[in-house]
């Protein structure tokens, strides 16, 4: 649009009365949110960033003691905390392994729950219920008692199977199996989101496909998956975020202990959490790039082709 010299009434840069009123309404609607986020997130995050670049002391308020080198806290996270880089790498790998499993599992369950079955609402409830107890002390008790592991696969067999692989790959896979049930328990929200998405797919599409001779398998790949694409992206991001910020993950625990330890202190913990956030952000970015909708380009290309075809016909 920028290249055109002719004045276009739909030009986005033109300021009209209507556009101004839309802006005003937009800001009005989002104002409470902005205020809340600025006070409790943005300000707090900026503060923690400041913390991470200084050595803070709490007595009669806070004193920011400058560090000899601004990046000292960050450097010492990598230099002194021997476990941190390894834990972080393992965590990232585990996340990348768990996320597709949760997505696939919840999509399958959602498809089943969306079908014609008896006692559907009962099943829906059961699949969502673990979510509402997944937080809190109950879960810790359960894990401690070994309810969350798969009893069918003993740890030994698994270790034998995996022994051919290098340690850094085998460990996350082992973890994955030992927490498989836990993973399934965490997929309630995802199932709910998929169900809501599935119910929006018009049934006429499937009927048309059936008439054209498509099997259930084909219509799953050609209709359900493309329509659900945005939901899959949504669920993938949601899953990564909940796994990454859940209270029971190793890194959060580490950050917590480090932050309140007398020897290391809060600024050290702040530096660690910023590193962690950066890693999670990179994972999220990858997920987004992988799953985002590319249909825009595709549609443009298709319309261009059709238009060209039409021109050829006219000529």
Stretch that binds another protein, among 32-40, 74-82, 294-302, 303-311 (CB under 8 A): 32-40
Residues from 81 through 100 that contact another protein (CB under 8 A): none
To the nearest whole angstrom, how small is the minimum distance from the Cβ of residue 213 to another protein?
15
Tokens of 273: 């959490």
Stretch that binds another protein, among 87-95, 162-170, 249-257, 299-307 (CB under 8 A): 249-257
Is residue 177 involved in binding another protein (CB under 8 A)? no
Is residue 243 involved in binding another protein (CB under 8 A)? no
To the nearest whole angstrom, how small is the minimum distance from the Cβ of residue 176 to another protein?
16
Is residue 112 involved in binding another protein (CB under 8 A)? yes
- Would strands 62-66 and 54-58 be described as parallel, antiparallel, or unpaired? antiparallel
- Considering only 115, 164, 166, 213, the residue that binds another protein (CB under 8 A) is 115
- Considering only 8, 11, 43, 300, the residue that binds another protein (CB under 8 A) is 43
Residues from 289 through 308 that contact another protein (CB under 8 A): none
Residues from 205 through 234 that contact another protein (CB under 8 A): 206, 216, 219-220, 223-224, 230, 234
Is residue 178 involved in binding another protein (CB under 8 A)? no
Task: Tell me how many degrees the CA angle 226-228-229 measures, rounded to the nearest 5.
Answer: 65
- Considering only 3, 9, 32, 66, the residue that binds another protein (CB under 8 A) is 32
- Considering only 2, 10, 60, 145, the residue that binds another protein (CB under 8 A) is 145
Nearer to another protein, 114 or 174 (CB): 114
Is residue 44 involved in binding another protein (CB under 8 A)? yes
């Amino acid at each position: 649009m920028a290249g055109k010299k002719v004045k276009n009434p739909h030009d986005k840069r033109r300021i009209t009365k209507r556009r101004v009123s839309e802006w005003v309404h937009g800001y009005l609607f989002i104002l409470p949110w902005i205020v809340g986020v600025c006070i409790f997130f943005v300000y707090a995050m900026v503060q923690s960033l400041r913390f991470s670049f200084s050595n803070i002391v709490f007595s009669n308020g806070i004193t920011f003691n400058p560090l000899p080198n601004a990046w000292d806290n960050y450097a010492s996270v990598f230099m002194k905390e021997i476990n941190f880089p390894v834990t972080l790498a393992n965590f990232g790998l585990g996340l990348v392994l768990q996320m597709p499993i949760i997505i696939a599992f919840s999509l399958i369950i959602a498809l089943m729950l969306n079908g014609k079955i008896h006692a559907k609402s009962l099943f829906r409830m059961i699949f969502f219920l673990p979510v509402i107890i997944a937080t809190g002390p109950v879960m810790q008790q359960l894990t401690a008692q070994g309810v969350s592991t798969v009893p069918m696969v003993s740890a030994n067999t698994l270790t034998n199977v995996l022994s051919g692989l290098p340690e850094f790959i085998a460990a996350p896979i082992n973890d994955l199996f030992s927490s498989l049930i836990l993973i399934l328990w965490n997929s309630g929200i995802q199932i709910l989101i998929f169900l809501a998405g599935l119910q929006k797919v018009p049934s006429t599409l499937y009927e048309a496909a059936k008439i054209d001779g498509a099997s259930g398998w084909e219509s799953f790949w050609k209709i359900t998956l493309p329509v659900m694409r945005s939901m899959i992206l949504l669920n993938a991001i949601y899953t990564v975020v909940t796994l990454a910020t859940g209270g029971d993950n190793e890194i959060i625990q580490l950050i917590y202990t480090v932050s309140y330890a007398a020897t290391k202190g809060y600024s050290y913990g702040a530096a660690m959490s910023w590193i962690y956030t950066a890693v999670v952000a990179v994972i999220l970015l990858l997920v987004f790039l992988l799953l985002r909708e590319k249909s825009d380009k595709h549609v443009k290309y298709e319309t261009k082709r059709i238009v060209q075809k039409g021109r050829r016909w006219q000529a």
